[in-house]
Amino acid sequence: MSYYKLLPLVKKTGSQLSPKEFQKRINIVFHDYEADHYDKLHCDMKESLQEQINLLVDDLFISKIETLNNLCLLDIGAGTGLSTQMLLNTKLGFQIENITLLDTSINMLKYAEEKAKKWQKKYSIINSDISSLSDSFDIIMICSVLHHIPELDKFLSQVDSLLKPGGILIHLQDPNGDYLEDKIYINRIEQYNKELNSLSKKKTIKQIIPKNWKHFINRLIGRKTYIDLVNNQLLKEKVIKRRMSADEIWSVTDIRVESKLNKEEIGISFKFLKQHFRNYKLISHRSYCFFGFLKSTLTVEYVQKENNLIKKKELNGRNISCIWVKK
């Protein structure tokens, strides 16, 4: 992806930085502020994420790939440590001895370290991006991160250089690039929206909104509250001269997520990954969020439908998740 697409926004905000520096700094400042709210705002995500990580690890064990003990894990974009926590909850967790938590946001890592202290494993915290690493690892976890990466090609090559032969790569929780325009997927979303509309005519809003929808709505509202703080910081650092809207900030940070301002190069394409990981064995390719939302926000009937689609290993949901082994 070319940073060039950010040029109109760079100009609009009066920034003197190059589009690359602009993206890098906004991404860090945004996540530094998001860190204080992250676990609370994403608690609805936990259930679906844990299920997906469990499924990927089960797929690995079913494939009879030999996993050794004393594994070294690298969590790229570790955030508050949620993704590592969930991997440790799986049967692969027992085999992990050493954990490296890497993130460009120092504030995210502050929360991750609080969790890491309780894991009873050796851990190190690195506040940087992938280019600063030179060790090699047995497992690399990339959860909810690929959609923040502008130069995906370069990033994946760096990931590859850090994974040992026979090493395991897990990535998930990113928009599913090959299927966002898929007719069946779009029909499902329309069907679910119709269902919600018809329910809303019969019931009060409190009855139709599943409990966890509140978390989803709070997440959107919550994310907006710190946009002001992000703007204040960016102005103070002279990254920008004029304030940015929430949508503008997200178009920079969530650079591969569909939005009003972001319509090109959206999502992570499996076709692209497969080309990139030619020297990897694909253990499993999965999808979820078949109705456009996480399971925890769906109505009871649709949770059942989502479960059936996950069970059938359909690939056309909103999110992509994969596990690979390097040959």
Ligand X SMILES: C[S@@+](CC[C@H](N)C(=O)[O-])C[C@H]1O[C@@H](n2cnc3c(N)ncnc32)[C@H](O)[C@@H]1O
Specify the residue, 101 or 209, whose C-beta has the smaller distance to ligand X. Answer: 101
Nearest to 45 by CA among 303, 299, 311, 297: 297
Specify the residue, 59 or 129, whose C-beta has the smaller distance to ligand X. Answer: 129
**Min separation Cβ 186 and ligand X, Å:** 25
Residue 277 is given by DSSP the state: T
Residue 292 is given by DSSP the state: S
Secondary structure E strands in 67-153: 71-76, 96-103, 122-127, 137-143
- The answer to whether 77 and 94 have CB atoms below 8 angstroms apart is no
**Min separation Cβ 66 and ligand X, Å:** 27
Give burial (CB, 10 Å; 0-12/13-18/19+) of 117: exposed
**Min separation Cβ 193 and ligand X, Å:** 25
Q: How many CB atoms lie within 10 A of CB 219?
A: 19
Interaction site with ligand X (CB under 6 A): 27, 31, 76-79, 82-83, 102-105, 108, 129-130, 143-145, 148-149
Specify the residue, 71 or 108, whose C-beta has the smaller distance to ligand X. Answer: 108
Specify the residue, 257 or 315, whose C-beta has the smaller distance to ligand X. Answer: 257
Residue 2 is given by DSSP the state: -
What is each CA distance from 147 to 59, 130, 152, 168, 319, in whole angstroms?
Answer: 24, 15, 9, 20, 11
The SS3 of residue 295 is: helix
**Min separation Cβ 207 and ligand X, Å:** 31
- The answer to whether 27 and 148 have CB atoms below 8 angstroms apart is yes
**Min separation Cβ 102 and ligand X, Å:** 6
Specify the residue, 85 or 302, whose C-beta has the smaller distance to ligand X. Answer: 85
**Min separation Cβ 217 and ligand X, Å:** 18
**Min separation Cβ 173 and ligand X, Å:** 6
Residue nearest ligand X (C-beta atom): 79
Specify the residue, 116 or 209, whose C-beta has the smaller distance to ligand X. Answer: 116
**Min separation Cβ 327 and ligand X, Å:** 26
HEC per residue, 160-225 = HHHEEEEEEEEEEEEEECCCCCCHHHHHHHHHHHHHHHHHHHHCCHHHHCCCCHHHHHHHHHHHHH
Exposure b/e, 264-303, CB count within 10 A at least 16 = b: eebbbbbeebeebbeebeebbbbbbbbbbbbbbbbbeebe
Q: What is the residue type of 29?
A: V
Specify the residue, 127 or 299, whose C-beta has the smaller distance to ligand X. Answer: 127
Specify the residue, 69 or 131, whose C-beta has the smaller distance to ligand X. Answer: 131
